[in-house]
Chain A
Amino acid sequence: MVLSSFVLALATHAFLVQNQLYSLQTVRVGVQDAARASTELVAREVRNVPRGGLVVAGRRTLTVRTPMALSTVCYRQGSPDADVFSEGGEDGLEVGAVAGVAMRNDSTWDYQSSTWAALDGGDGSSAANCAATGADTVGARGAFHRLLDLDNLFTGGAAEGDVIMIYRETTFTIATSLLEPTGLALFRADYGAAAVEFATGLDTTSHFEYRTSVGTYVDTVTAASLSAVDAVRIVVDSRGPAVTGGAQEVLFGWGVNVPLRTVRSEGN
């Protein structure tokens, strides 16, 4: 009887310990996933931010413009429209997220807000027009498209050979979670759209920082100084609830520095 009780107690304890371990491990995984996903989501956008693409740089708000497609004007349709090439064409675009177009000069971009509905000129004869000016359209007919109103958007209009960026504008916010109101969460919003909660369980220490000179990071940059920013630091601290059985709550965090394209040669 004693032996049986001892064995039963041993087995029960073993299962309890295992259960606690699994629970702790599950929380750890969740906490680390939240931190990783938050970092990757923001970093992926920040890595692609072109010159002049930083719009808002606050402690818990970051707004950036990133290219959805880079196009080249291959035929002037006559003022103010143009036929352009971009890989994937319209099918490669998430048209609802289009926030505007930008025209490249050697050093930066001229950004103009717009919508896909205003820009879309169809693609009926774009490939044929561009072929007439020397474009290789074989197997890529769908990559040619017509953009409207470029001359009215850009001073001097768009010339053949100009590079046009169709961009999205994304805002990342660290704010009170809607799913777990006791903590913070990372929200992502396309231009003009409602913010969507992406990662839950962030700690109050989570925030963004911006490098304005070597070794100097600040957590807020004014609009006039945005061009001085050459890197964004994403500090994400994630917090998991205490596990049944007495274990402390789980904390996991890191900071990742993501250089902007401006620090690379010729913005490439």
Chain B
Amino acid sequence: MRPASGRVPASPGRESGFVLAVVVFMLFAISVAAATGYTLVSSEFALSRHSGDGAEALAVARAGLERYVAESLGTLADTTAYALGGGIATVTPRKLFELDSLNEVWYVRSEGTVEDVRSPGAPARRVVGAYATYRRRPIPHYASVIVSAEELETDGNGEARGFDHDSAGDCPGGGASTIIGAIAQDDVDEDNSSDIQGNPQWRIWPGGASAILDSIRVRWDILTDPDFPVEFENTLPNFSSIPSDSFPVVRYNGDMTSGLQGRGALIVTEKFDPPSSFNWSGIVLAGEIDDRTSGYLDGILIAGLNGPNPYDEVELRTDVNYHSCDVYAANESLSYLELMPNTIHETN
């Protein structure tokens, strides 16, 4: 039976189709809006991220350069990579000029890269460079024994002999000029004549530790910092497994009372108190020195760098004989880079 209006009612399926079309259209519009908004925001985000990566790469490059220079000790590594923050710094030094036999000008280049996991093939990259002076063999050969104690006196087998026990045939530069026998703050004396020999036999440095540090050009505060890496710390290398001309840096944190036997640059951060079995070739740098020392040293001894020595009078029973070749070799291991002021610059 037809309804009174005479209209045939639309089927339920056709009504649903109209609403569905509207809904789909609206959903499409919303999707387009969302996609456009996402594109806008993501492109801004990408710009910001790339800018941030570039800034981080610059910071990484600078940090790598500073670290390389700060940690330089001995022979310079060709290329060194550091993982710093979110990036990698690759540092490459280049020798440019020999100012003299002890000072060279180097260029240090550091490339910082920060990789984005979304574009690993195109990392942010910044390069900085700087000039540095390479201080080779920084410690001058002043005296066979330098102590900041008020008085130094030989005793027993103690000797401080400043004439070179090496000859020109032992190494380039061997057979060096005779250096001072011993230096102390107020007084130097010998138990037996000829215990102390040199040119002059001895000298007084009233300035103590600060005068010594000013003269020997060694970075004592850095070398004794436990965070500063050295080749060997609180242990000796196996000398039979390293080249015979290798004189490594060995650091002992605290007092040194062991009968060490070896060669190199020995750094004792606190008291140097060697027993009679101590036998070393090279350089000994010590924060303090005991009032009575023993053993043998072929090289030079510099002690009392921490400040006024706790013992006013030191009885030197260590037999110290200046060997220029051993001192040269150990000194080479203490070489370091020093940045020239006003020279760090960005190169890209």
Contact = CB atoms under 8 A, between A and B. Distances in A.
A139 B346 CA distance: 21
B96 A11 contact: no
B84 interface: no
Given A25-B40, A85-B96, A163-B131, A70 B26 contact: no
A40 B130 CA distance: 24
A106 interface: yes
Contacts of B161: none
Interface in A1-53: 7, 11, 14-15, 18, 21-22, 25-26, 29, 40, 48, 50-51
Nearest to B94: A136
Query: Which of A69, A108, A135 neighbours the largest number of chain B CB atoms within 10 Å of its CB?
Result: A135
Q: Describe A's contact surface by its main secondary structure.
A: mixed
A268 B104 contact: no
B95 A136 contact: yes
A267 B97 contact: no
A26 B39 CA distance: 12
Contacts of A135: 94-97
Interface in B262-317: none
B131 to A, nearest CB: 6
B342 A266 contact: yes
A72 interface: yes
Given A18-B29, A74-B97, A135-B95, A29 B40 contact: yes
Interface string A75-97: 00000000001011000100000
Given A15-B29, A70-B343, A72-B107, A134 B36 contact: no
Interface in B90-139: 94-99, 104-105, 107, 109, 127, 129-131
A14 B29 contact: yes
B226 to A, nearest CB: 23
A146 to B, nearest CB: 15
Contacts of B341: 104, 106-107, 266-268
B49 to A, nearest CB: 14
A134 B97 contact: yes
A154 interface: no
Closest 3 interchain pairs by CB?
A: A266-B341, A134-B98, A267-B342
Contact of B26 (A14, A87, A134): A14
A162 to B, nearest CB: 9
A26 B36 CA distance: 11
B25 interface: yes
A22 B342 contact: no
Contacts of A48: 345-346
A160 interface: yes
B347 interface: yes
A100 B252 CA distance: 52
A205 interface: no
Contacts of A14: 26, 29
Nearest to A70: B345
B96 A74 contact: yes
B26 A72 contact: no
Interface string B166-191: 00000000000000000000000000
Contacts of A108: 342
B340 A134 contact: no
Interface in A229-268: 261, 266-268
B22 interface: yes
Nearest to B129: A87
B231 interface: no
Interface in B231-275: none
A161 interface: yes
A70 B131 contact: yes
A35 B199 CA distance: 71
A22 B41 CA distance: 12
A109 B342 contact: yes
A44 to B, nearest CB: 9
Nearest to A144: B96
A72 B94 CA distance: 12
Given A14-B29, A267-B341, A87 B347 contact: yes
A213 interface: no
B339 interface: yes
Interface string A133-149: 11110001000000000
A18 B346 CA distance: 45
Nearest to B133: A161
Contacts of B105: 72, 74, 161
Nearest to A32: B44
B95 A11 contact: no
B130 A160 contact: no
B344 interface: yes
B342 A11 contact: no
B25 A11 contact: yes
Contacts of A29: 40, 44
A51 to B, nearest CB: 6
A14 B345 CA distance: 54
A115 B126 CA distance: 27
Interface string B20-50: 0010011001000100110010001000000
A11 B29 contact: yes
Contacts of A51: 342
Nearest to A25: B40
B340 A104 contact: yes
